[in-house]
A and B are shown apart, each in its own frame.
Chain A
Amino acid sequence: MEAITQHREKNKVASEAAIQITDLKKSFGSNTVLNGITITLNKEENLVVLGKSGSGKSVLIKCLVSLIKPDEGTLTVLGEDISTLHTDGLNKLRKRVGFLFQSGALYDSMTVTENLLFPLRESKDIDQSEREHLVKEALENVGLSEVEHKMPSELSGGMRKRLGLARTLILKPEIMLYDEPTTGLDPITSKEISELMLTIQKNYKTSSIIITHDMACAAITANRMVILKEGKVEATGTYKELSSSSDEWVHSFFS
């Protein structure tokens, strides 16, 4: 009876959370990157993950979309246990999760429009006029216009980030995973991208995990923050709580 109650409690938590990561472990050879991470991302929440370079932040979000297979632990995304999903189920789930790569990962042999249409190529129920409308809407939502026929190499760094964002938004995801979204951008463009992330949270009602080293970006976007150290969660709290932490190591991120 107790086991059933515990199972129901667990399911209840999973259904309320957008993402539930439990005791996640991942090693590469002898290098342990994640050593028992437990994190919950609540619905419509922006969770910023901080940590030193090489602390496994990117590995963490790549595990969430099954680009990297974890060694141990449970990953529940939108109520589905990733480890139990086969290819079709995983692809369906991936369409509900947007991923912004650090480099943008734009398809450089395609135009801007082709980049945006790529995620829709297997959606046979969307006709041509609707596709054109979705492209226009996605570009407008990230503040890009009149670039439809350009190649990614013709765009600036900030525009490439916006385009990467537009490409994920075209599928109207419920969860956004940002891998260092402001890296390599000037402070003004970084601020614009950070504010755009807030707008997306509001308009699309997304829950987001944001990996960043940019404290200005964290200050703008974070509802809650997690700091990783040696593969484990070292501290959790709001930006205000962590910035006034008495722990010298935690505080060093904010100074």
Chain B
Amino acid sequence: MSNFLSTLFEYGKCVFGNQSSPSTKPPLIYQFLTGVADFAIFTGRYFMELIKPPYEFKELLKQSYRIGLQSLPLVGITGFIMGLVLTVQTRPTLAEFGAESWLPAMISVSIVREIGPVITALICAGKVGSSIGAELASMRVTEQIDAMEVSGANPFKYIIVTRVLATTLMLPILTVFNDIISMLGSLAGVNIHGDVSFSLFFAQAFAQLSFTDVFPSLIKTIFFGFSIGLIACYKGYNANKGTVGVGEAANSSVVLTSLMVFIIDMLAVQLTSLFIDT
């Protein structure tokens, strides 16, 4: 125990005492704790830079276009297939109980509350997370971020703040789009075996939807977007040198952001059930 503490103390001295790093590799617990502290500092800096002028509106619009508009086709196609498959798979079970008329309501509640936000976030974790992670890591490796720093500009504000803010703002919009397309997919699924009109389907679907279904799920997507942007930017911005670092940054961005989506979802469900009687 005393050996372990003395090792931690030695590494602590190196960080806080401005001494050279020791030659041996630090223990895993030390790497984990410094990683958490580093991420917390990164997050704190994000909020500080977010409120401090000047604001990079042009770059924010550019990133919103890349993250939001360019993700629409993928989110749309996935949403349509998801709605259709979910309907086709659920229909036989409901038919056994003679409850086929409940299909639109059931699908709409499950899509709006859970499946829509989570699937959209996972698509963005894959598409946007890997793209941001790899792009920033490449910029780090090719010294572009260093070049921004030495020119007296603020790369953190220009690169990080705009991307994190864009993912935070775009995720709720993409989720709403995904929900709508999923419902259209579900309508197509219902009409494979039956004949349900557009207006009847949506009347039944919206009859069971309430404010307490829509509002918490949209709030949840803001946190999904924030975590995807922040983690991917952190991984890319702090990438190790070399092309291996680029691959690792892209990979760990996707893995960590996907994991974070599920963790936030679990917390959101718990919190929602505390305040809203579902």
Contact = CB atoms under 8 A, between A and B. Distances in A.
A105 B54 CA distance: 24
A94 interface: yes
Contacts of A94: 149-152
Contact of A95 (B18, B22, B143, B151): B151
B152 A119 contact: yes
Nearest 10 interchain pairs by C-beta: A30-B23, A105-B147, A27-B20, A95-B152, A119-B151, A105-B143, A94-B152, A91-B152, A99-B150, A65-B150
Interface in A87-140: 91-92, 94-95, 97, 99, 101-103, 105-108, 118-119, 121-122, 124
A164 to B, nearest CB: 8
Interface of A: 27-30, 62, 65, 67, 69, 71, 91-92, 94-95, 97, 99, 101-103, 105-108, 118-119, 121-122, 124, 167-168, 171
A91 B158 CA distance: 15
B152 A101 contact: no
A67 B145 CA distance: 10
Interface in B143-199: 143-144, 146-154, 158
17 contacts: A28-B21, A29-B21, A67-B150, A71-B18, A91-B152, A92-B152, A99-B150, A103-B142, A105-B143, A105-B146, A106-B147, A118-B151, A121-B153, A122-B54, A122-B153, A124-B54, A171-B151
Interface of A is mostly: loop
A132 B185 CA distance: 52
A62 B147 CA distance: 11
Contacts of B148: 107, 118
Interface residues of B, number: 20
Contacts, number: 69
Contacts of B143: 101-103, 105
Contacts of B146: 62, 67, 101, 105
A225 to B, nearest CB: 24
Interface of B is mostly: loop
A107 B20 CA distance: 32
A108 B20 contact: no
B151 A29 contact: no
A191 B140 CA distance: 30
A31 to B, nearest CB: 8
A65 B149 CA distance: 9
Contacts of A65: 149-150
Given A101-B143, A105-B146, A29 B152 contact: no
B21 to A, nearest CB: 5
Given A28-B20, A101-B147, 12 more contacts: A62-B146, A91-B153, A92-B152, A94-B152, A101-B146, A105-B147, A107-B148, A118-B153, A119-B152, A122-B54, A167-B151, A168-B151
